[in-house]
């Protein structure tokens, strides 16, 4: 199991990135379905979280992300305060702080994963129904 904080940061950042990718894809599909032009860069940026006004330090001038700042923003929004730690035992573990994981980090990860999975399931069901022609009856 991963024990360094750097490795544990990867999961919430991956979920955050996946969430943004889904938001941009859904925006494009909605515009396509309404026979509107594809989203431009600004519109795609508006579909991403956090918004520029919510976390100006998260965005670079070229429109890319400052992942360290995004992680800090995620942490401040979803698990700020004084967290309690859960010890994850591993062989040869000295029991230092690098082997601790907050329950709030787990909860955030699970919630984000569940939301993404739910959205993907809804999208797939809608696509299957649309392709089957049942929505016309």
Full-prediction pTM beyond 0.85?
A: no
* pLDDT attached to residue 98: 47
Give the three-class secondary structure for 19.
helix
Provide the pLDDT for residue 46.
85
Asked whether residue 100 carries a pLDDT value surpassing 80, the answer given is no
Q: Could you give the percent of the chain with pLDDT greater than 70?
A: 78
Question: How is 65-106 classified by DSSP, letter by letter?
Answer: B-HHHHHHHHHHHHS-S----EE---TT----GGGEE-HHHH
Residue-level pLDDT at 42? 82
For the segment 105-127, what is each residue's pLDDT rounded down to a tens digit? 777 888 888 899 898 888 888 88
Q: What average pLDDT is seen over the chain? A: 80
């Amino acid at each position: 199991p991963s024990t360094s904080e750097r490795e544990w940061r990867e999961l919430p950042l991956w979920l955050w990135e996946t969430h943004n990718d889904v938001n941009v894809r859904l925006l494009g599909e909605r515009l396509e379905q309404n026979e509107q032009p594809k989203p431009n860069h600004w519109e795609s940026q508006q579909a991403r979280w956090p918004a520029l006004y919510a976390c100006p330090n998260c965005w670079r001038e070229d429109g890319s992300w400052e992942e360290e700042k995004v992680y800090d923003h995620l942490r401040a929004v979803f698990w700020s305060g004084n967290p309690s730690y859960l010890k994850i035992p591993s062989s040869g573990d000295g029991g230092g702080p690098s082997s601790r994981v907050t329950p709030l980090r787990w909860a955030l990860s699970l919630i984000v994963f569940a939301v993404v999975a739910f959205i993907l399931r809804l999208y797939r069901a809608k696509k299957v129904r649309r392709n089957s022609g049942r929505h016309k009856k």
